[in-house]
Structure 1
Amino acid sequence: MRVRSLAATLALAFGATTLAVFVLVGSFLYLALEKQIKAQDNLDIVLAARHARRLAEELETSMGIREHSDRLISIVLGNQAMSMEVFDPAGNRAVEHNIADTFAVPNVASGAATLAALPPLARVAASARITEADIGEWTGRNGAPIRGILTDARLRDGETASVLVARNMSDRWLLLDRYRDRLHLAGVAGVTLAMLLGYLLIRAALRPLRDIAASASLVTVNRLNTRIAVARVPSELETLVASLNAMLERVDLGFQRLSRFTADLAHDMRTPLSNMRGAAEVALARPRSVDEYESLLASNLEECDRLSRMIENVLFLARAEHPQFVKHMREFDAARELSHIAEYFEGIAEEALVRVRVSGAASLTADLELFRRAVSNLLANAIRYTPQGGEIVLDASASADVVRVTVSNEGQPIAAEHIERIFDRFYRVDPSRSSLPSSGLSRGSTGSAGLGLAIVRTIMELHGGSVHAQSDARSTRFVLVFRRGG
């Protein structure tokens, strides 16, 4: 199905609007002209009837009507559409002018007609004032529309004559018809011109959109840093351009993070594989004893565990970023869970010659397994970097709005330039890539693969909370912030 052009659609809409305006304005002008013409013609008929009656009333007898016919007829002379008839007191036509098309019946205009043969009109009394309301309408010969007034005129001898003043409206009809035809022609031409100009103007107005599309087409995988130029963009499109550029910025950052993540993952996976390959090649270089082979298998098993933990962490991060990741929220005693985690790590802590202490008290609503995994990762990290004889403190505290769980340890402080990046995937403060032996803890990996703190941040984001680090000469502190009701 062919998609209709936006410019054509808007041009059609503009043309339809223009047509509606033309119809309304044209109808108004036509009706106004018709009303004005009718009012002027009515005034001419009324004035002519008044003048004719006044002249007739100056006559002495009915004989004076014929004697002064020229004077009476002069009232309507000069207007081919006006006609007049004057009837004597006996009802016979005494004066006539231009009545050929005034009546539909031929003998009415033959000269033998009487007042009784006229169309049924309301006769105006001689003493009554002639107004527009007294004008009657009828159809003349050939269907011509006629408007006129029939009025009585009292002669000086007391006799009553009748005066008929009429106007043939055919010329007015023709005038209005021509005016209507011109309005139609002007309307069609105006609508066509409006549609054409509207289409051209709309295409010109939509040019920035085409420029935006052209700029967007330049964005490729290898040119994600390309941005849509905002120069000379209409104000209505500035928000669109800004949104598109912000989207491209997010895509660029996401692609860069993905590239770094892939590179780091490949590097970290290559290390244990290289270790296993190197150890195997050394072992196969010459015959070895059973103990040496067992040591080789044990070393390879540790590297396999490291790879397994790394893959598990990557899969967890991938699942956690899915919108349908399921959390099992429940309320529990945070201090009690911290004590359980500390007991589990007691053996590892003793081997590292560090102490783990739990303090505080707070009730927390969260996913218990994810909570254990986050704290375990922080505690494993603290054990790794706490000097012998040092102390690690697990603390839980609550306020009106949030619950804070803090893991603090003694040791070398983290430099300020690293403090914000340590939660990035595969980021390490030092170049060392040592790993902590697997604990087998079901609540999550504690080995270092550059993903432990990234997992902590992801877990906190899933809970609508946050995690941040503070480090000084006294200690390094990782703070989990859970919002109440989160």
Structure 2
Amino acid sequence: MSRAPSLAWRLALAFALVCAVVLGAIGFYLYRSLERELAFRDDQALLGRVEQVRILLQDSDSLEGLQERPRLYQNMLGNRESLLRVLRADGTALIDINPAAEQLPELPALAADRRAQRGDLRDWRAADGTPARLLAVAAQGPGGEPLHILAGKLMIEREQMLASYRWRLYGGVGGGALLALLLGLGLVRRGLAPLRRLAGAVAGIDRRSLDRRLPLEGVPEELHAPIEALNAMLARLEDSVQRLSQFSADLAHEIRTPLHNLLGSNQLALGQPRSQGEYEELLASNLEEYERLIRMAENLLFLARVDNAQQALERREVALDELGEQLVDYFEALASERGLHLDNRLHGQLCADRLLLQRALGNLLANAIRHAEADSTILLERHDGAGLCWLAVDNRGAAIPAEHLPRLFDRFFRADPSRAAPGDSGGLGLAIVKSIAELHGGRVEVLSGDGRNRFAIGLPPVERCA
């Protein structure tokens, strides 16, 4: 795959192109201004010379005297580019100055009493393509003799001057663009130095140094926002890696416990002959550990699918009061064993995935039953606030230590590991609740104090599905 030009070269070329366009525009303006100024001066000089010739012809004693003194009008014309032809009425030439022997055209003459203007001048080209300006006027000689004057000037010197100026202009624009390219390349490379330092700093960060952050000192203000975004990404990455490492350790610990139980019980059973009842008891114990491992595997698989957005939501209208009654019926037997009463106060409709919502609320109820005070009431209620519809499970029980509150919904976290029961979710129940809430675009919260604990899941308050 071919490499694209570097950013430095692109910016330098763009800078050089802009400079070339600006210099070219300025040069074109100056060139046109010079061309117009030279044309104006040449035209004014030609008009002045025509008037001088008119006066000279009219004030001369005789036309024959002018013919005998040609230096008089030749010096007045000034150079070999000038053309002058004075004709009598019969067409004979009185004065004929034409150094290049050009075949001059026939032009209508202006009246003798009219002063020539620039608009009366005519463009003409010589046989070799040299541009010229011509003017034909009528004049009077001594004694009122009618004369025809044809004056002009070849623009050889002016064309040479403009051509030289054009080449200098081309060279100036090209040299300026090249200089702009070199200067721009140097300035851009110097300006991109913070990016190179930033790239070096990023390259030096690996999984063992995720706590490092990119410095803002000496960095242009335009790069502050990207660097802050990178630092925030590094912070999230560091947190994710730490959580992953902790998750791996917790997972190994959680799996090790039932495996050790299975290994120990089987080794003990095989240590000496046992009765049929003892073997049956061993198999029942093993079955509980297997079920625990299966629940853990299923919960982990569910969390993995949620994290990778592979769990598709099947949103539909859920009657919350009906859902609450089903949960109360399901957990009533378990609650009765501890003398607990379940009170369903859910109401209204909610657009959500019914199975996932049922699972989340079921986990919260199971958690409340496990930790509520005996002979108390567990409330299942709804309230709206903060732009969310909150479905809460409230129970009376010992206050949760403040240091544990931020971690209650972490995976494998238990505030009291010794209280694990056969139906325990392995520290994944509340993590599943949090994942379900986030999958719906909501969140979770926990409040503990004054002898009550309240776990709630907040979902967007969409009562009817589209």
TM-score (norm 2): 0.92
Change (3 A) 1:24 1:485: same
1:362 aligns with 2:356: no
Per-residue CA deviation, residues 337-385 of structure 1 (Å, 9 max, x unaligned), is 2122112112212222322222353222221111221111111111111
Match of 2:435 in 1: 458
SS of the aligned residue for 1:75 comes to helix
How many residues of Structure 1 are paired with residues of Structure 2 in the alignment? 462
SS of the aligned residue for 1:323 comes to coil
Structure 2 Cα separation of the partners of residues 237 and 273 of structure 1: 53
Q: Which amino acid aligns with 1:309?
A: R
SS of the aligned residue for 1:120 comes to coil
What is the correspondence of 1:20-419 to structure 2 with a 5 Å cutoff? 20-66=21-67, 69-77=70-78, 79-97=79-97, 99-101=98-100, 103-105=101-103, 118-140=104-126, 142-397=128-383, 402-419=388-405
Q: CA deviation at 1:86?
A: 3.5
Per-residue CA deviation, residues 146-183 of structure 1 (Å, 9 max, x unaligned), is 32323222234121233333222111111111111112
Q: Which amino acid aligns with 1:62?
A: L
Per-residue CA deviation, residues 52-82 of structure 1 (Å, 9 max, x unaligned), is 21222223443443366554444223x4433
Match of 1:470 in 2: 447
Change (3 A) 1:163 1:342: same
Please say which of residues 389-398 and 243-252 is displaced more in the overlay. 389-398
Match of 1:3 in 2: 3
Q: CA RMSD, aligned part only?
A: 2.3
Please say which of residues 222-231 and 156-165 is displaced more in the overlay. 156-165
Does the 8 Å contact 2:132/2:154 carry over to 1? yes
Q: CA deviation at 1:284?
A: 2.3
Structure 2 Cα separation of the partners of residues 242 and 371 of structure 1: 37
Per-residue CA deviation, residues 249-307 of structure 1 (Å, 9 max, x unaligned), is 11111111111111111111111111111222222222222222222221111111111
Structure 1 Cα separation of the partners of residues 331 and 106 of structure 2: 121
Per-residue CA deviation, residues 15-62 of structure 1 (Å, 9 max, x unaligned), is 333333343333332222222111110010001111221222223443
Does the 8 Å contact 2:57/2:142 carry over to 1? no
Structure 1 Cα separation of the partners of residues 389 and 128 of structure 2: 101
Please say which of residues 41-50 and 221-230 is displaced more in the overlay. 221-230
Q: Which amino acid aligns with 1:466?
A: R
Structure 2 Cα separation of the partners of residues 433 and 255 of structure 1: 29
Q: Which amino acid aligns with 1:100?
A: P
Does the 8 Å contact 1:355/1:390 carry over to 2? yes
Does the 8 Å contact 1:104/1:139 carry over to 2? no
Structure 1 Cα separation of the partners of residues 323 and 336 of structure 2: 20
Structure 2 Cα separation of the partners of residues 72 and 332 of structure 1: 114
Structure 2 Cα separation of the partners of residues 66 and 137 of structure 1: 29
Q: CA deviation at 1:191?
A: 2.1
Does the 8 Å contact 1:11/1:202 carry over to 2? yes
Structure 2 Cα separation of the partners of residues 353 and 61 of structure 1: 148
Please say which of residues 153-162 and 451-460 is displaced more in the overlay. 153-162
Does the 8 Å contact 1:362/1:397 carry over to 2? no
Does the 8 Å contact 1:86/1:161 carry over to 2? yes
Q: Which amino acid aligns with 1:160?
A: P
Structure 2 Cα separation of the partners of residues 124 and 477 of structure 1: 111
Structure 2 Cα separation of the partners of residues 218 and 154 of structure 1: 98
Please say which of residues 210-219 and 142-151 is displaced more in the overlay. 142-151
Structure 1 Cα separation of the partners of residues 385 and 96 of structure 2: 113
TM-score (norm 1): 0.88
Please say which of residues 464-473 and 15-24 is displaced more in the overlay. 15-24
Change (3 A) 1:233 1:457: same
Q: Which runs of 5+ in 1 are unaligned?
A: 106-117, 438-446
Structure 2 Cα separation of the partners of residues 384 and 35 of structure 1: 100
Identity %: 37
Structure 2 Cα separation of the partners of residues 289 and 154 of structure 1: 155
Change (3 A) 1:8 1:249: same
Please say which of residues 14-23 and 260-269 is displaced more in the overlay. 14-23
Change (3 A) 1:147 1:25: same
Q: Which amino acid aligns with 1:485?
A: V
Please say which of residues 201-210 and 453-462 is displaced more in the overlay. 201-210
Structure 2 Cα separation of the partners of residues 175 and 209 of structure 1: 50
Structure 2 Cα separation of the partners of residues 484 and 82 of structure 1: 96
Does the 8 Å contact 1:155/1:161 carry over to 2? yes
Q: CA deviation at 1:392?
A: 1.6
SS of the aligned residue for 1:222 comes to coil
Does the 8 Å contact 1:61/1:159 carry over to 2? no
Does the 8 Å contact 1:45/1:165 carry over to 2? yes
Q: CA deviation at 1:143?
A: 4.7
